[in-house]
Amino acid sequence: MTGNELLNYLPAYQGKEKILKDQQNTDDIINEILNGHNQYSNQYKNISSFFIGSTPKKTLNNIWNFLKSEVRYKVEPESKQTIKSPAAIIATGRTTGSDCKNYSLFTAGILNNINKNRSQKIPFCFRFTGYKFFDTNPQHVFIVAYPGTDHEIWCDAVLNKFDYKKPYTIKIDKKPKDMLVGISGIGAKPKTFAGKILRPVLKVAASPARNAFLALVGLNFMGLATKLDKANTKQPKALMDWWERLGGRIQNLLGQINRGKGKKRIFGFENSLGQVEEAAIASPIIAACVEFLKNTLKEAAPELQKVATELIINKAKNVAARQSLSKVDRKLMDQQKVNEFNQEWQDQTTQTASAPKIDYMKYAPFILVAGVGIYFLTKKK
């Protein structure tokens, strides 16, 4: 993800930057940085998911790599010390650049929102450091994850190596909770119920449907990848909001869109071994996608709507039918589905040489989704 692409998800940069007042002491500078973190932290929620790696360390490395490649380091003169919004940091990344203060603000903003979303748990602090003997004033700041432990991770994009622990003579650690409460916006608490933060997204229960939907997008089923790519070009923020409200990560959806948009679209189920169950588990999200595309692109998708409706009806019929069966009958029904699938597979693979050759390997992900769908449709309720 490039800086220009991330700007699509942030409030537009207006060319304004907060200039710190002259003649500040160490405490003033620290407070200004902490206040800047509070002021702009909420804006990072739109881009934090793009940096999530498979481990917390990889997440930090992703942030470090982005800053090294997209935001050049520029020491600011004492006469012009700035605190920038995320859009300002990125928009000026290739021109005026940023210093360690704004590198730290960017890193902290991303981590703070990852922690809020509970995608990963990465405690961190701002570490203010000095490198001159007999001088108690810090000259530098960077972000340290897991501070005070034996496995600290240092994220300092000023340096040429990630997690390089350059020795210092003094340090002052400040965690976000140390920030002053008198600043507008600090102290506001999220809505909770029984001690848990309320979030308007679908959680783990929806993950099978999301995974099935992602597989369909990667295959460009009914042109899903093509349509969603068009929506992303037109309104990337709207696409991200829609998908993350469903509990998904936008980078996963974008990856499947890029994978599927260049493929020839699959028209219905007749081209996918005749298995309606292949997409049944994703039917609620397909239906939601139809509405999203209608609102975003102002275009109707009747063929996709028809498929979504048929899938939902078929799924409901299967559930209703199973509830009236005995345990033995259910096992027989499951075995019959397996036999029918195997027979159809055999019929397809024994076509004559004159018949068009089908590349079944490209349908492997689709077949995997079919298995998952059949499991959820036929398991004991």
Residue 223 included in any domain: yes
Q: Verify that 185 and 215 share a domain, yes or no.
A: no
Q: What is the pLDDT of residue 201?
A: 38
Q: Which domain covers residue 257, as residue numbers? A: 204-378
Q: What is the pLDDT of residues 3-16, one digit of tens each?
A: 888 998 898 887 76
130 and 69 housed in the same domain = yes
CATH code at position 95: 3.10.620
- With a pLDDT cut of 90, the percent of the chain lying above it is 31
Q: Tell me if 75 is assigned to some domain.
A: yes
Q: To 5 degrees, how large is the angle CA 269–CA 270–CA 276?
A: 35
Confidence of residue 304 (pLDDT cuts 50, 70, 90): confident
pLDDT at position 179: 35
Give the pLDDT score at 311. Answer: 64
340-373 burial, b for 16+ CB within 10 Å, e for fewer?
ebeeeeeeeeeeeeeeeeeeeeebebbbebbebb
- Dump pLDDT digits (tens) for 148-165: 999 999 999 999 999 999
Name residue, tokens 């848990």: 196
pLDDT digits (tens, 9 = 90+) for 364-381: 555 455 554 544 544 544
In this prediction, residue 355 carries a pLDDT of: 45
Q: What is the mean pLDDT of residues 251-272?
A: 75
Q: What is the CA radius of gyration of the chain?
A: 26
Q: In this structure, is residue 62 part of a structural domain?
A: yes
What pLDDT is recorded for position 277?
52
* Domain total of the chain: 2
**Comparison of pLDDT for 267 and 212, the residue scoring more:** 212
Q: Are residues 180 and 222 in the same domain?
A: no
Quick check: pTM over 0.75? no
Token pair listed for 11: 């409030």
Same-domain status, 43 and 181: yes
- Higher model confidence: residue 304 or residue 55? 55
Contact (CB, 8 A) for 104 and 126: yes
Is the domain of 266 the same as that of 360?
yes
Residue 312 has pLDDT above 90, yes or no: no
Pick from 135-139, 143-147, 218-222, 246-250 the range whose average pLDDT is largest: 143-147
- 169 and 215 in a single domain? The answer is no
In a domain, 283, yes or no: yes
Whether residues 84 and 216 share a domain: the answer is no
Does any domain span residue 197? Answer: no
